[in-house]
A and B are shown apart, each in its own frame.
Chain A
Amino acid sequence: MASGDVTQKTNSVVPAGALPMGTVVTSSGRISAALYPGDDFGTPPFSREELVLLDDTLSEASEVASVRFSVYIGDLGSDVVAGAREILAQAPEPAHGALIAVSPNSKDVAVVSGALVAGRVNDRVAELGVSAALASFKQGNLIDGLVAALRVMATAVDRP
């Protein structure tokens, strides 16, 4: 292949034929989709301020603690810790990461961490995160609970 040629990956996660009309996989692998009149943007069901707060807190906590924090909202199955570990494996840098997983329908919350930060994000730090989250969840505040858990864990974790 000559230098500068653009090629399309053939092992894409989504086959090109399986995409809905108006959708295309770009040369970089990104999926670009047309938005029809009347369609919503498909953003998570939170206010703009809540999403910005969560995004900022994830960035700050990750940089302060040198741990790649992630947040998951969705079903976790019967074993919430095992379910959270499966989700952590799909998050960026799982070995250096920590995940706060919330299952709103079963009212479960779990915190798990990766193997290479296990000494710093240990069970005690994970319990602090769960406690901080539960305090807000009991008052009905999902994003506040997630932000509190992230801040508490980022503060409690030992620096590398």
Chain B
Amino acid sequence: MDQLLVPVGMTVVVLCLLAVALCIVSMAFSFGLKRPKIAEYTLDQRWENGPTLFSATEIQPMALSRHFEPGDTEGGSASGKW
């Protein structure tokens, strides 16, 4: 048992030091990098982003879940242009 202490212990220590060194190197490369600020959209700009769908998720379901049927979206409608 005592004979294994040094080989195993040294391996663990070397691996730990290597991991710490890799962390320091990665931090050195990413130091000073900032996330790009997201440009806020206004209606006078062209919409260059992908399609975006917002829906409330933290609310109770309106009804028991069921399979979608083709006629489910045939309700009221209106449209306009600005």
A interface, CB within 8 angstroms of B:
37-41, 43-47, 50, 54-55, 58-59, 62-63, 66-75, 80-81, 84-98, 103-118, 121-127, 129-131, 133-134, 137-138, 140-142
Task: Contact check, B59 vs A114: say whether CB atoms are below 8 A apart.
Answer: no
Interface residues on B, range: 35 or more
Q: Chain B residues near A142 (CB, 8 Å)?
A: 41-43
Q: Chain A residues near B62 (CB, 8 Å)?
A: 62, 66-68, 93, 96-97
Q: Chain B residues near A89 (CB, 8 Å)?
A: 68, 72-73
Q: Does B3 contact A (CB under 8 A)?
A: no
Chain A CB count within 10 A is highest, among B40, B45, B71, B77, for: B77
Q: Chain B residues near A58 (CB, 8 Å)?
A: 54-56
Task: Contact check, A112 vs B56: say whether CB atoms are below 8 A apart.
Answer: no
Q: Chain B residues near A67 (CB, 8 Å)?
A: 62
Q: Does B36 contact A (CB under 8 A)?
A: yes
Q: Chain B residues near A71 (CB, 8 Å)?
A: 53-55
Q: Chain A residues near B47 (CB, 8 Å)?
A: 73-74, 103-105
Q: Chain A residues near B2 (CB, 8 Å)?
A: none
Q: A96 is contacted by which of B41, B57, B63 (Cβ under 8 Å)?
A: B63
Task: Contact check, A70 vs B55: say whether CB atoms are below 8 A apart.
Answer: yes
Chain A CB count within 10 A is highest, among B42, B68, B81, B82, for: B82
Q: Chain B residues near A66 (CB, 8 Å)?
A: 62
